[in-house]
Structure 1
């Protein structure tokens, strides 16, 4: 659980440093003499995701990986959903922490058949933690929805 909180705190720090449009990605490493040095990494562009792997249609959804933490199976992701756009009902196999940068709308919570059983109204600065294999979908409001996500490694049993 402590690791989850540390990851959430890291996500908030990263989110605070990444503006709505693409900014720089800096990895602070130990350099010569164990002195910290910032290494600039190339940011990947967001790619349109019109259809999810399960075949369901999205509207105005773009997604991309900002950083892959070497050897840790942890990925920092970036997403955008156009105003009035949506992300179809899906699940993620891994734990995922999402930070809402901008936008508001509804996160649907869905049963195994895809039917809605609940919802969460999301807004800027919300942090949403997804446990593995939880079905959900997104319906965005009147402004673009921008988010950062951290995909974590599978929990150890």
Structure 2
């Protein structure tokens, strides 16, 4: 009987720790000669609790940068951020205005509703999200998140606003 109990405890411990874990990040880069591609292992995202946004409480939301790419030779005014987020089961992210840039969100796991809000925070609609959905945010769009019965895991990709 102890075997199944220990096994269940191990699974529960892993499930509790999973939001803090992320897969490997490998960056394919040119070597110093500029001629050979090399694989460089990077640190995985370290998710930090985000207790509120603009003074409005979140519930079970952690977020962190996976990788930041500095401005590049194609467009020196822009870089790319790759972010990872987690919302606990039954958790939420407060209604907020998205950044002044395009943001692409990929749903890894979880289901729930994303609210569509006006500038005063009033909800006028919502969409349901599920694993493998991609949500494209135009700059400065107001929205919030109400998660379902399982943890919500996502990746976000954004382009930095042009520097003036």
Specify which of 115, 120, 126 is matched with residue 119 of structure 1: 126
Indicate the RMSD between aligned Cα atoms, in angstroms: 1.8
Q: 1:28 to 1:112 in 2, by over 3 A?
A: same
Note the residue ranges of structure 2 that are not aligned, 5 or more in a row.
1-17, 72-77
Task: Write the distance in 2 (CA, Å) between the matches of 1:73 and 1:114.
Answer: 30
Which residue of the partner structure matches residue 134 of structure 1? Answer: 141
Q: Which has the larger radius of gyration?
A: 2
Q: 1:33 to 1:48 in 2, by over 3 A?
A: closer
- List structure 1 segments (4+ residues) > 3 angstroms apart after TM superposition: none
Which residue of the partner structure matches residue 39 of structure 1? Answer: 40
**Pair 1:90 & 2:96 matched:** yes
Task: Write the distance in 2 (CA, Å) between the matches of 1:155 and 1:83.
Answer: 36
Question: TM-score, normalised to structure 1's length?
Answer: 0.82
Which residue of the partner structure matches residue 67 of structure 2? Answer: 67
Q: Which deviates more from structure 2 when the two are superposed, residues 119-128 or residues 41-50? A: 41-50
Q: Secondary structure at the match of 1:34?
A: coil
Question: Offset at 1:44?
Answer: 3.2
Question: TM-score, normalised to structure 2's length?
Answer: 0.78
Specify which of 140, 151, 157 is matched with residue 150 of structure 1: 157
Count of residues in Structure 1 that have an aligned counterpart in Structure 2: 137
